[in-house]
Structure 1
Amino acid sequence: MSTILIIDDDDQLRISFERLLKEEGYQVCTAASGEAGIRMLTESIPDLVVLDVRLPGINGLETFRQIHQIEQKLPVIIMTAYGTTETAIEATKMGAFDYVIKPFDIPQMLSTIAQALEAGRFMRSPVDMDVAPDKIHGEAIIGKSSAMQEVYKAIGRVSATDATVLIRGESGSGKELVARALYQHSIRSQKPFLVINCVAIPDTLLESELFGYEKGAFTGATHRRVGKIEQASGGTVFLDEIGDMPMGLQAKMLRLLQERSIERLGGRETIPVDVRIIAATNRDLEVLITKGQFREDLYYRLKVITIWLPSLRERTGDIPLLADYFMTRFSGELGIENPGITREAMSMLVSSPWPGNIRELANTLQKALIFNRGAPLSLTDIAQATGGDVKNLHLTEDACDDSIRSWIRGLLSRGTQENLFENCMDHFGSVMVAEALNLTGGNRSQAAKLLGMSRPTLHAKIDKYNLKIETSVK
């Protein structure tokens, strides 16, 4: 449950606002002055602060400065009357998440609060990489495959720079986690991190959301508003699904990347901005360019650094690790013991196509756990969670061949890679050895016979692939 601190000297508003937020499921604490709010912060850090500008004693702006001295990544929403809009804009440029004009529209305020809480979680929740499931403390990027090792290397090399990054991969492959990892390991990690989904926001609102607007820019624009680009001053903006950005906005985005400046909607003032742009898409931008649906000049500005995320079909060897991670995580969230997964069910997880990638795998395991009765997840549990039956979990040989070819084409399309053939063969070899050992219950002699090799050769393969398999028969 998220905790929200309200700092406002208006007793009636504070009490009614507290009641509203509690009805929405939030834990709420309140303070009638900046000094009281600061004291509460020193005792316990909430997830969000909603702060009025005009306060007795120290004003809202000074209160905000002290809040960020205590916890810089704590999101703060400023509340203001019409007469103090410029003060609120100043606070926003200093790092406030947003500002809201009193009296505020309740649904809009609740939406802003939800966005601020999500932004705070993104900034403060660590994204672990390449660690064992039992060592993970939050969300994580999981995988030991060679494709994922390349992703880790890219994050390590790029995060310390200020370069624009384009993350490409299928839907559900983990692009947002990579963006957050880049932010958290960057020189801007103590500044804001804002996420804009170019699909979720209607085209008519996306421009004002990104760049803000001037008073009178359109009907209902009763005051100046700062956009997300300005709000993230000194920090990072993640543009998710940029392949769906309208063409008209692409020109403004190109100007931002070229000149590091923007203009608010309805304004003529050129405003310098200091933000790092990370973008992501599951669309084929090259095809969109040929169709005239994406600007080629913007494409080259975005792809200063490109990070390709493999689909789950391209790294099936990582599925047991991912399954272990999600089983541990969801069991903890549900307050139940981790029941584990049967060998047959795990084999089906590995052989399934997963068009929705990691997101689909996670949803399947979470659903299976919710309806599980304590026994290890079986084929039937997985089938029911995917809305099908057991036979639908099996890939035909042709479909399996198609998946292998797709994976290989994806690797080859990335250009020359050192030892690519040997790495692919090692990948297939490690999967075959692991499956042979699983099918034989860990009996190395039987597994060696299945694989058509001697027992010493099998031992050498186990050592080479660093397979950690519990065996009941040596």
Structure 2
Amino acid sequence: MWYSRARAGTPPGASSGGSLAERSVSASDRRFSQHQGCDQLEHKVIPAMTASILVVDDEPAIQDILTWALSAEGYRVATAGSGEEALARVEEEDFDVIVTDIVMPGLDGLEVLERSRVLSPRAAVIVMTAYAALDTAITALRRGASDYLEKPFSVDLLKERVQRLLQYRETLWKDRLVQRAMQPRPAGSLVGESDAIRALHEQIMLAARTPSNVLITGESGVGKELVARGVHAEGARHDAAFVAINCGAIPEALLESQLFGHVRGAFTTAVQANQGLFVAANQGTLFLDEIGEMPLPLQVKLLRVIEDKSVLPVGGTKPLPVDTRIIASTNRDLEREVEAGRFREDLFYRLNVVHLAVPPLRERRGDIPVLVDHLVHRLNAKLGTHCLGVERAALWSLIGRPWKGNVRELENVLERAIVLGGNDLISMRDLSAEPATGQGAPPQNLRGAVRRFERQHLMEVLAATQSDKRKAARVLGISLASLYRKIRGEDDEPGPDSERT
């Protein structure tokens, strides 16, 4: 029922004598009670963090009563007194349900319905009408409304309809997660939909068309080997071997033997011959990961292999012809390494024929949701788990992190959350057990540190307010426009808002 003094007292804005709105509501209560009897509809309450509701009505009394009733259920409720105000609110904030009157001055409820579906497609819309016009309700349903209510109605009925919509949406959401989890994904594919990743995909395709050597640069954990595998898979050598080695993980003497091979008896432990990775990758691709860590003596030998297209095994006297494409990667600035004398300039130019730069994760935060989906699927296969994904607040938290370790760090965070959480959806509680990732990070100047802290704090506030941007702006003490600029990363210069933050 809209309200019952015996259970909850008088709602805000309702006089004890009974206004016109109150009297019509009470009549509806009696009618609803006679129809339903004394039985109460039992339903599972969805946590308030998953439900924000916008009430649109030009009558303040109706706004007050619906706000009171829905807030009592734990929902976050906002109001608008006109269609224009409602659309302004929808532009600024994400709502789960919009409850709107049909007949209002200015923009009517049908206009609100149509425009809100464009601005916020995920919001379910319930229309209210006092004119008992079935054709209007049918029109609203055809235009995308989820449900309709005929005034006067009981708030118990409204609460039931809202709860049913939320439960239905939750079911659809989980079904979609299950479907996505069951969709096969190509192994070793570079995941992302941002402009930066789209551009990188195009560059990979162009590089694959040539036989030239490729140098891939980027921070640790961004996926340089995935890029290398992509170039190989799309090129003419895709049917031949792709062989990878980390040049920084093997001692110099062993690295030489691994790359170029050795003959039997070349050294004490050489009890049998080893053909080496250049020969193993003949007609295919050799991926030299962390090429910047290669010692100078081996750089000389590598340069000779590139120039002569032959390899001389350790202890051998006869060069072996090889036709191997080289793809190298590094997280160092090789031009600076050349200037410092730690990397040969001639080798740098031989490797840097085609240059592919992989952006860090913090520069493509929009890819994090699809990356999370991909990584959860992969981790489920690895761990034998059935995690469906990440809750909305937890996803906001992931988007806001600095990710010094990039995609590799993100995967580690998700794996830990899945193992320790053991739930269908990863929650903020699962992520809160994460150890601090900033330890051991390279030092940065004060401005960079402040910007990093501000970004992380902003995302934490958004997560705490369940993505309510208006509320987050109030908590941060900045304007809503400033909040949007900061989310987009456009507000890097200090100003009045940032000072207040």
TM class, shorter-chain normalised?
0.5 to 0.7
8 Å Cα contact 1:191-1:234 kept in structure 2? yes
**Would the alpha carbon gap of residues 324 and 224 (structure 1) be closer, same or farther in structure 2, given more than 3 Å must change?**
closer
CA distance in 1, matches of 2:447, 2:428: 20
8 Å Cα contact 1:261-1:271 kept in structure 2? yes
CA distance in 1, matches of 2:403, 2:320: 45
* Equivalence for 1:337: 386
1:189 to 227, 238, 241: 238
Equivalences for residues 126-165 of structure 1 within 5 A: 134=183, 136-165=185-214
Per-residue CA deviation, residues 276-315 of structure 1 (Å, 9 max, x unaligned), is 0011111121222122111011001000001000111111
Q: Secondary structure at the match of 2:433?
A: helix
Q: Secondary structure at the match of 1:274?
A: coil
Q: Secondary structure at the match of 1:353?
A: coil
Per-residue CA deviation, residues 168-214 of structure 1 (Å, 9 max, x unaligned), is 11111101111111111111111111111112221111111111122
CA distance in 2, matches of 1:276, 1:309: 20
8 Å Cα contact 2:393-2:466 kept in structure 1? no
Listed as ranges, the gaps of 5+ residues in structure 2 are 1-179, 439-445, 471-478, 483-501
Per-residue CA deviation, residues 123-154 of structure 1 (Å, 9 max, x unaligned), is xxxxxxxxx87452434311111211121011
Q: Secondary structure at the match of 2:286?
A: strand
CA distance in 2, matches of 1:206, 1:151: 31
* Equivalence for 1:240: 289
CA distance in 2, matches of 1:400, 1:135: 42
8 Å Cα contact 1:365-1:385 kept in structure 2? no
CA distance in 2, matches of 1:259, 1:155: 27
RMSD over aligned CA atoms reads: 3.6
Question: Percentage identity across aligned positions?
Answer: 41
CA distance in 2, matches of 1:388, 1:185: 36
* Equivalence for 1:439: 467
8 Å Cα contact 2:216-2:358 kept in structure 1? yes
* Equivalence for 1:208: 257
**1:167 and 2:216 equivalent?**
yes
**1:228 and 2:277 equivalent?**
yes
**Would the alpha carbon gap of residues 216 and 138 (structure 1) be closer, same or farther in structure 2, given more than 3 Å must change?**
closer
Query: What amino acid is the match of 1:218?
Result: F
Query: What amino acid is the match of 1:370?
Result: V
* Equivalence for 2:131: none
Alignment coverage as a number of residue pairs:
288
8 Å Cα contact 1:214-1:225 kept in structure 2? yes
Listed as ranges, the gaps of 5+ residues in structure 1 are 1-131, 390-395, 406-430, 443-449, 454-474
CA distance in 2, matches of 1:353, 1:173: 13
CA distance in 1, matches of 2:417, 2:447: 27
CA distance in 2, matches of 1:199, 1:211: 16
8 Å Cα contact 1:239-1:279 kept in structure 2? yes
* Equivalence for 1:386: 435
Equivalences for residues 5-404 of structure 1 within 5 A: 134=183, 136-374=185-423, 376-386=425-435, 399=449, 401=451
**Would the alpha carbon gap of residues 240 and 404 (structure 1) be closer, same or farther in structure 2, given more than 3 Å must change?**
farther
TM-score under structure 1 length normalisation: 0.55
Q: How far is the alpha carbon of 1:336 from its aligned partner?
A: 3.4
CA distance in 1, matches of 2:275, 2:404: 39
* Equivalence for 2:443: none
Q: Secondary structure at the match of 2:338?
A: helix
Q: How far is the alpha carbon of 1:329 from its aligned partner?
A: 2.5
8 Å Cα contact 2:311-2:321 kept in structure 1? yes
Q: How far is the alpha carbon of 1:234 from its aligned partner?
A: 0.9
CA distance in 2, matches of 1:260, 1:247: 20
Q: How far is the alpha carbon of 1:375 from its aligned partner?
A: 5.1
Per-residue CA deviation, residues 79-123 of structure 1 (Å, 9 max, x unaligned), is xxxxxxxxxxxxxxxxxxxxxxxxxxxxxxxxxxxxxxxxxxxxx
Query: What amino acid is the match of 2:467?
Result: L
Q: Secondary structure at the match of 1:217?
A: coil
**Would the alpha carbon gap of residues 159 and 345 (structure 1) be closer, same or farther in structure 2, given more than 3 Å must change?**
same
Q: Secondary structure at the match of 2:287?
A: strand
Query: What amino acid is the match of 2:311?
Result: I
Q: How far is the alpha carbon of 1:346 from its aligned partner?
A: 1.3
Query: What amino acid is the match of 2:351?
Result: L
CA distance in 2, matches of 1:402, 1:374: 31
Query: What amino acid is the match of 2:405?
Result: G
